Structure 1
Amino acid sequence: MIQGRLLLILIACLALCTVSVSAFTVQPPSGIPSGDLAPGTRVNIDTTVSFPTTSGTTFPSSDTLQFYTELESVRWNIVIVLNAIENPRPLDTGRIVRISGFELEYPGSMDLKVRVNLEGTTPEVTTTDDKTILRIRQLGPNDVVRGGGEYSITRKVVNPAEVQSSINSAKADLQTLKTSIDAAQSDGVNTAAIEVKYNAARTALESASAAGTNVGTAQTHLSTARTNIDEAKILLEQAVVQHSISTAEGYLAEIDSIIDYLSNEQGRAGDSRVILLTSKRQSIKNLIDTAKDSFEVGNYARAETQAQDAVEDGQRVLQEARDLKEDIESLPTVVDPDKPFLWIIIAGIIIVVIGFVVVKKRRAWDELG
């Protein structure tokens, strides 16, 4: 008997839980401008809330359907539609409208809809901020939102002064970019792809400035400009690094050619100066490889520093290689810096010759004596 009563209580509780939960769907609202909005923008929103069900009731009598907006100068025109019969509610001008479950509870077999028209203007803002244009909630007895019982639309309301400030900031960034492009171009960097992005950003900023008080349009063009500026900066970094790597590799190739010439054609492979030159050449090669590795992982700043170091070292070592080549080519073939004893022999011959001349002159002086 007791178990039977407990079972009935459990079934009743489950039934209550089933009744207390309602699912609603919202037709996509019309009348809301796309994109960001300026303060004072007038909106006129139309939407319909439906309560599809096949059993139980259309809406729990213990719950509340709540409408909310952060718009100003609000007018709510709400009509409860039951089986195609319209029941208009009184006009409401508050930011919050509540419809009790008592007004919405009908047998689940009935077709219940709530048609909503909301008029209002976006509020003034001191800083750009997200504002709730329309929010619909199903609240339980303690104003707790039912699971899945919330629908919300927000829009960014923009402070026009901030938009103008952002446009000015983007223009300054664009000018800095142009200076960097010109500098890279003068260094021989191919900037064609970068200039395409630069021109797109400049056009977008001109459109943003021309938008005037239409901050939504201005923001859209500003966003396009920012995207192109950021992409141009990345392309410029990549191009500068690739140009530096290519330049360093050109120096390295000429150094290799000189080392090969001195080692094979001049027979100076064992010359300490050629050996030192080969060591310096390897250091440049290491810098180039490290720059390439940094570039591959997207660390363009580090890659640029490493590639520039390779260029500077390559330029310096190449000049050393050219000077060494000229120095070795100017020496008589009999003189081999790698064999110092030859220098000793030559010095000895010079000393003998000088001594012979001195002795000969001394004898001539004695005879005249």
Structure 2
Amino acid sequence: MKKGRLLLILIAFLALCAVSVSAFTVQPPSGIPTGDLAPGTKLTIDTTVSFKHTDGTTIPDDNSLQLFTDLDSPRWTYTIVLDGIDNPRQPTGFRTTRISGWELNYPFDVSVRVNLEGTVPEVSTTGDKSIIRIRQLGSSDNVREEFLVTRTVINPAEVQTRIVSAKSDLQVLKTAIDNAHDDGVDTANIDTKYNAAKVSLESAEAAGANVATAQTHLNAAQTQIAEAETLLEQTIVQHSISKAEGYVAEIDGIIDYLSNERGRASDSRVILLTSKRQSIKNLVDTAKDSYETGNYARAQTQARDAVADGERVLQEARDLREDIESLPAVVDPGKPFLWIIVGGAIIGVIGFVVIKKRRAWDELG
């Protein structure tokens, strides 16, 4: 007996669930342009909302179908199709139109052909607007199902402001590219991005009152400017790292020459030079790590420091090499036996002079 009651409760619960999940399908609306919309654009939209009957019903009587739009001067025209027969309703001119579930609840499939006419509204700020929204609402106006199409509506004044700002950004980019080129950076790929952005920005200006077209070209220009800025940053870092590595390589060559060919490995000046060289190498490695993690600003600072230190230490290395090469072999601190020979020779000369003078004094009596 208890099992029978539990089974009846379960069946009732499943039946309730079956009713609660009733939903509609919406044919993709026609008449809605892709991309951003300009205020004042007139739209004519057509779609069909369909309800499948489940267990002899399509939608509960206490539910409703809500039609909504943000378009100005809306005009809704809809026809309820019952078993293949059209049942047109009076057009309405409100943003929101509601069809009761009682009008749509039948033991067979029901559809609603919807036509919406309206004008894209003026906006104070560019943003998204609901072009058409279709909802199935429950008895407490809770949303049980929703279909929504939105579009970005443009504020023309904002587009012009953005164009002016983008032109300024483009000029700043051009200056940065020129400076990098003067510093020896290969800017060929960046120039390509810059030129593409310039063309897109010119197209945005040429669009004039066609703000949707202007917005499309402007968006492209801003994307291209951002890509060029990132590429420039990356290229400058790579150039600085390569330049610093070139300094390290030249310093290594001088250290090797002084240590092996000139026998100055133990010279305190060579030891200090080796230490400074390692500091530069550490900066280069740190810059590479920052670059790999995408922190280009930090990488550039580290690479720039490596270049500055590399230039300074390389000059020190060149000066040290010149200083050591200018010394005669006989005074080479790396060959102490020569100092012994020189010292002995000097002592011998002094002794000879002293003895010779002493004999002269003796002869004079």
SS class of match (1:326): helix
1:179 is matched with 175
Structure 2 alignment gaps of length 5 or more? none
Q: CA deviation at 1:286?
A: 1.3
1:317 aligns with 2:313: yes
1:197 is matched with 193
Match of 2:160 among 161, 164, 171: 164
1:282 aligns with 2:278: yes
Match of 2:289 among 283, 290, 293: 293
Q: CA deviation at 1:19?
A: 3.3
1:28-67 equivalence runs, <5 A: 28-67=28-67
C-alpha contact 2:42 2:118 (8 A) present in aligned 1: yes
Question: TM-score of the superposition, structure 1-length normalised?
Answer: 0.89
1:102 aligned partner, one-letter code: W
Match of 1:144 among 129, 142, 145: 142
1:259 is matched with 255
Cα–Cα, structure 1 residues 246 and 357, in superposed 2: closer, same or farther, change >3 Å? same
Match of 1:116 among 99, 114, 117: 114
Distance 2:70 2:198 in 1: 36
Match of 2:268 among 246, 253, 272: 272
C-alpha contact 2:50 2:110 (8 A) present in aligned 1: yes
Cα–Cα, structure 1 residues 313 and 358, in superposed 2: closer, same or farther, change >3 Å? farther
2:232 is matched with 236
1:272 aligned partner, one-letter code: S
Cα–Cα, structure 1 residues 71 and 323, in superposed 2: closer, same or farther, change >3 Å? same
Cα–Cα, structure 1 residues 116 and 351, in superposed 2: closer, same or farther, change >3 Å? same
SS class of match (1:120): strand
Q: CA deviation at 1:106?
A: 0.7
SS class of match (2:59): coil
**Identity across matched positions, percent:** 72
Higher mean C-alpha displacement, 290-299 vs 85-94: 290-299
What is the CA deviation profile of residues 194-248 of structure 1, one whole-angstrom value per residue up to 9, with x for unaligned ones?
A: 1111111111111111122222222211111111111111111111111111111
Distance 1:22 1:213 in 2: 46
Higher mean C-alpha displacement, 254-263 vs 341-350: 341-350
Cα–Cα, structure 1 residues 351 and 43, in superposed 2: closer, same or farther, change >3 Å? farther
1:24 is matched with 24
C-alpha contact 1:32 1:45 (8 A) present in aligned 2: yes
What is the CA deviation profile of residues 99-140 of structure 1, one whole-angstrom value per residue up to 9, with x for unaligned ones?
A: 111111111xx2311000000111111111211111111111
Distance 1:363 1:158 in 2: 115
Higher mean C-alpha displacement, 217-226 vs 6-15: 6-15
1:126 is matched with 124
Number of residue pairs the alignment of both structures matches: 364
Distance 2:295 2:11 in 1: 65
Distance 2:274 2:3 in 1: 96
Cα–Cα, structure 1 residues 208 and 359, in superposed 2: closer, same or farther, change >3 Å? farther
Cα–Cα, structure 1 residues 122 and 354, in superposed 2: closer, same or farther, change >3 Å? farther
What is the CA deviation profile of residues 235-289 of structure 1, one whole-angstrom value per residue up to 9, with x for unaligned ones?
A: 1111111111111111111111111111222222222111111111111111111
Cα–Cα, structure 1 residues 9 and 309, in superposed 2: closer, same or farther, change >3 Å? closer
SS class of match (2:174): helix
Cα–Cα, structure 1 residues 39 and 351, in superposed 2: closer, same or farther, change >3 Å? farther
2:137 aligned partner, one-letter code: L
Cα–Cα, structure 1 residues 324 and 20, in superposed 2: closer, same or farther, change >3 Å? closer
Higher mean C-alpha displacement, 93-102 vs 223-232: 223-232
Question: TM-score of the superposition, structure 2-length normalised?
Answer: 0.90
1:70-81 equivalence runs, <5 A: 70-81=70-81
SS class of match (1:141): coil
SS class of match (1:334): helix
1:119 aligned partner, one-letter code: E
Structure 1 alignment gaps of length 5 or more? none
1:85 aligned partner, one-letter code: I
1:321 aligned partner, one-letter code: A
Q: CA deviation at 1:357?
A: 7.3
Cα–Cα, structure 1 residues 191 and 356, in superposed 2: closer, same or farther, change >3 Å? same
1:263 aligned partner, one-letter code: S
SS class of match (2:290): helix
C-alpha contact 1:20 1:62 (8 A) present in aligned 2: no
Q: CA deviation at 1:16?
A: 4.7
C-alpha contact 2:53 2:106 (8 A) present in aligned 1: no
